[in-house]
């Protein structure tokens, strides 16, 4: 009987570590995708030196192609702090700077981590900035 209890405990312990390992890999892959989307948006803006409707359409096509979507960000999302963002889950803010004598864009993408058993949702922003694009 003692061997059966020890074997069951060992199997439960292995399942817990396996779940932690899978969670870590999933978070790492989500982070990589969000980081890649942010860098590509910054490259689109820097190559065209502005952010307008044409660039927004190009960015939307790229984001759809990458299957990047964060449900709690955007006009329909539950996070009111980021309600001015795109519906796919990224934000592009125009920032004017007097010391740099121009403007630059601040791009924010997100990782959404859900823990359904504990009813916890974590939203991690990843932010980057373009160089000064206009003078």
- For residue 118, being part of any structural domain is answered with yes
Asked if 82 contacts 91 with a C-beta cutoff of 8 angstroms, the reply is yes
- The structural domain count of the chain equals 1
- For residue 134, being part of any structural domain is answered with no
Give the per-residue pLDDT at 3.
Answer: 62
Q: Please write the tens of the pLDDT for every residue from 50-107.
A: 888 898 899 999 999 988 888 877 676 666 666 678 878 888 988 887 776 788 889 9
- For residue 135, being part of any structural domain is answered with no
Q: DSSP letter string over 19-86?
A: HHHHHHHHHHHHHHHHHHHHHHHHHHHHHHTS--HHHHHHHHHHHHHTT---TTSSTTSS-GGGTTS-
Tell me the mean pLDDT in the region 2-10.
Answer: 72
DSSP 3-state assignment of 128? strand
Give the per-residue pLDDT at 14.
Answer: 93
Asked if 130 contacts 45 with a C-beta cutoff of 8 angstroms, the reply is yes
pTM above 0.85, yes or no: no
Asked if 86 contacts 70 with a C-beta cutoff of 8 angstroms, the reply is no
69: alpha, beta or left? (left if phi > 0; alpha if psi -120 to 50): beta
Residue 124 domain boundaries: 2-129
- For residue 38, being part of any structural domain is answered with yes
Residue 94: both structure tokens together: 């125009």
């Amino acid at each position: 009987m003692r061997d059966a209890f020890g074997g069951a405990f060992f199997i439960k312990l292995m399942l817990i570590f396996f779940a932690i390992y899978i969670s870590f890999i999933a978070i790492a892959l989500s982070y990589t995708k969000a980081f890649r989307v942010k860098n590509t948006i910054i490259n689109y803006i820097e190559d065209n030196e502005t952010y307008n409707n044409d660039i927004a359409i190009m960015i939307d096509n790229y984001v759809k192609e990458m299957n990047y979507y964060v449900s709690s960000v955007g006009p329909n999302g539950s996070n009111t702090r980021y309600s001015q963002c795109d519906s796919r889950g990224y934000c592009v803010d125009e920032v004017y700077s007097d010391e740099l004598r121009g403007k630059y864009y601040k791009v924010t993408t997100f990782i959404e981590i859900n823990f359904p058993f504990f009813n916890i949702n974590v939203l991690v922003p990843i932010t980057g900035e373009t160089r000064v694009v206009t003078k």
